[in-house]
Amino acid sequence: MTSRKTIALHSYKGGTGKTTLITNIAAYFAATGLNVCLLDFDVYAPSLSTYFKKKPAACLNDLLNGQAEIDDILIDLKSEIDVKGKFLLGFSSNRKEDVQEIELKNDIKWQLAALKRFLAAKKELFEKHQLDYLFLDTSPGIRYWSINALATADYLFLLMKDSDMDIEGTRKMINDIYDSLSRFGSKYYIILNKVPGAAGNSSLTSISKEKAWIAELERVVGAQAIGSVPCYCDIQFSRHEFLFAVKQPEHAFAKRVVALAEKIKSL
């Protein structure tokens, strides 16, 4: 039985497909009847409001500033997406001035007060809304609110692609950040996304090669991979791909996301 878990997705740099993956996993969980909330903690370059085409009256920024409560910023898409469980979303503001304000708020007193507000909101989410999972979409790299989001999570998933920059950056973040967080009870895994050449190839030889490649990456970065998702060009270059995991369940990408989500659910 899975319940009351906070999951954060993170990456060394942008462009790994983090937002696409976390929205699909969260939506799939809701489709199976779990109560889910997804918060956009990529406060420096928010994208969830664009992904879902929403213009919320209040945002996560307002919560952190003490100008809104958690219920003020939530939108429940259960009926709109047609899923069995709650599918709550909280967006960060993509207004230029709001993003700049977050970047400039270096005062430690404000930062601690904002973190306290978020922790209280998180507790309310689980108790009042009977959440099973809280998903946090974080900013890439080492930034203040990314680290805060990671520190509040039970499970951390670090997305990476097969490039020298991603591999080296991921290895460094594991050594500098994730190993420290694990001492406080957080568990972390890597997810290999946009794997080249794997889409549509399910031969035993291809599967064997993929397993060997993953094992080598695990050795290099020093972390266990919980799954991999091939690069699907129709999704990567789609003008507005949207929740394939629940809207197009027969698509190969959706099937890989479901397999990954089930592994996460079993942790």
Structural domains of the chain in order of their starting residue, each with its CATH number: 5-265 (3.40.50.300)
19 touches 47 (CB < 8 A): yes
Residues of the chain short of pLDDT 70, as ranges, are 1-3, 197-207
The DSSP letter of residue 115 is H
Question: What tokens does 236 get?
Answer: 């990567």
Residue 1 has what pLDDT?
45
Alpha-carbon distance of 162 to 222, in angstroms, equals 15
53-85: per-residue pLDDT in tens? 999 999 999 999 999 999 999 999 999 999 999
Q: What is the pLDDT of residues 208-226, one digit of tens each?
A: 777 888 888 899 999 999 9
Structure tokens at 59: 């945002």
Question: Distances from the Cα of 212 to the Cαs of 113, 202, 217, 223, 225, in angstroms?
Answer: 47, 15, 9, 15, 12
Which of 85, 5, 14, 13 minimizes the C-alpha distance to 47? 14
